[in-house]
Structure 1
Amino acid sequence: MAKSDPNHVLRRLPIFVGGLGAVLLLVNRLLTPQITDSQARADVLGVILSAVLILIGLIWQQVQPRSPDAVELVGEEGFVLAPDLPDRVKTELAWASHLLLTNTVTRSLVVFYQGKVLLRRGILSTKSEVKPGVILKRVLEKQQPVYLVDLKVYPGRIEFDYLPENTQGVICQPIGNQGALILGANAPRSYTKQDENWIAGIADKLAVTLNEEMTNYN
């Protein structure tokens, strides 16, 4: 279920204040038996200010950026490592995945390396196997990240069936030239440029460790 916009009260505040001001001016005018020139001028200014506030509120409803709508991803929370991984690799994967899940909008992640799934963590899909589709293959071949800001609008989203079915955004970040870090977010357009740079740095660190430790892994 999508969460409501946390700024909706702020957006409507000028409309509320402007409307309240107009009502109070009207009540004051009705209850005043004799209107002086100075009071009439003050009432005119009050009406103008109320109208401006209402107009500002209406404009905010249209142009003020809204926070991305977050959803609860479908699936069970879990932490699954491939069997018989070297201890150093287990530690590195646990560290990296914890940082990503607690410091970004990532809610589900997969580490795919040398054709195998080394780690699944966060909200897990019922499907665990990763079959690289067009998008992931391009990331692996070109070693360039791909950020799908709003997954539901991309026809290629069907290849990410190993992520929760209602995943909103996906980053595929290459891990050296042999794998990829696949991150699923619970809100569209939610990764910042700083997040992307940070994810790239973590992937580079994983690449060094995996390249050193995974040579003899079967």
Structure 2
Amino acid sequence: MQTEEYRGPKPRKNWIADWVSKNDDVARSLPIYTGGFSLLAVLFNRAIFGIAPVTDASSSQSRADLLALGLAVTNVLTGLVWLSIRPKSISKVEPEGMECHWISPYLPDTVVSELEWFWQSLSDVTCCRSLVIVYDGICILQVGVAAESSSGDGAETVDAAKLIHGALCEGIMKSGAQNYLANLSLYPSKSELPFLPPNTQAVVLQPLGDKGIAVIGGDTIRGFTNADQAWISLIGDKLDATLMKSLTRTESLAQNTG
């Protein structure tokens, strides 16, 4: 089935953050270079203009140079601290499982198109590697990497009833607020998500109105930024509106047919 590509908004990449993450050593050394250059500039200024090497408290030039020297030394010390203190390296992991791409065959083309766009957008601009959507008590989508079935006959399928009535999802659907599990291994409730790869690093649980939920699994600890979470919340509301409209239309047609 060929569907028209949905063109919707996507979060913009932070080029500065990307550059810093790829050039960590250079970024941490910048204060040292800045401070060293400032020190040389002050000395060069005093030498070229014939200012006495000994500072004079009554001279405005000397007082300005003292401030510049203080700022330069502060920069150098900051750079040394940045180089000595490094956060624990966090890298992507390859999800353990099998590729899965299943969408309910009972959905209209417009909904399928939007679900495809939802998945494509998430996988392109975030660390999302798995996506499950349950709506009105039925799993309507499971794509990305899924956990292998314990019986060995394929991917672990989503038990929609068990997911919806689990403590984790019940609380989210009642509050209507997004929940972000930045490091899934630290949460005992991860046992309620057996259909995700066992080494899933982070999960965003996005409610879809009061009838559904989207489970978004990532391959990096704390991999979903604040901008990602806000964007997921917005497109989750849009997807809920589309599903609600489609569901209402289907029920209306069923009643008229009956």
* TM-score, normalisation: structure 2: 0.61
How many angstroms apart in 2 are the aligned matches of 1:144 and 1:160? 19
Q: 1:117 to 1:12 in 2, by over 3 A?
A: same
Corresponding position of 1:129 = 158
Q: Among residues 107, 128, 132, which one is paired with 1:110 in the alignment?
A: 132
1:78 positional shift: 2.6
How many angstroms apart in 1 are the aligned matches of 2:130 and 2:193? 12
How many angstroms apart in 2 are the aligned matches of 1:175 and 1:61? 45
How many angstroms apart in 1 are the aligned matches of 2:99 and 2:28? 37
Query: Any stretches of 5+ residues in structure 1 without a counterpart?
Result: 15-52
What is the aligned-residue RMSD (CA, Å)? 2.8
Partners of 2:97 and 2:145 within 8 A in 1 = yes
Corresponding position of 2:188 = 155
Partners of 2:133 and 2:141 within 8 A in 1 = yes
| Identical positions, percent | 33
Corresponding position of 2:214 = 181
Aligned length in residues: 177
The farther-off stretch of 146-155 and 67-76 is 67-76
1:139 positional shift: 1.0
Corresponding position of 2:10 = none
1:83 positional shift: 2.1
Structure 1 outlier segments of 4+, above 3 Å: 5-14, 55-59, 64-67, 215-218
Partners of 1:68 and 1:190 within 8 A in 2 = no
1:135 positional shift: 1.0
* TM-score, normalisation: structure 1: 0.71
Amino acid at match of 2:178: P
Trace 1:20-169 onto structure 2 (pairs within 5 A).
60-62=83-85, 64-65=86-87, 68-125=90-147, 126-130=155-159, 131-132=162-163, 133-169=166-202
Q: Deviations over 1:92-149 (max 9, x none)?
A: 1011111011111111111111111111111122211232221111111211111000
Trace 1:201-216 onto structure 2 (pairs within 5 A).
201-215=234-248, 216=250
Secondary structure at 2:95 match in 1: coil
| In the alignment, structure 1 residue 197 sits paired with structure 2 residue 242 | no
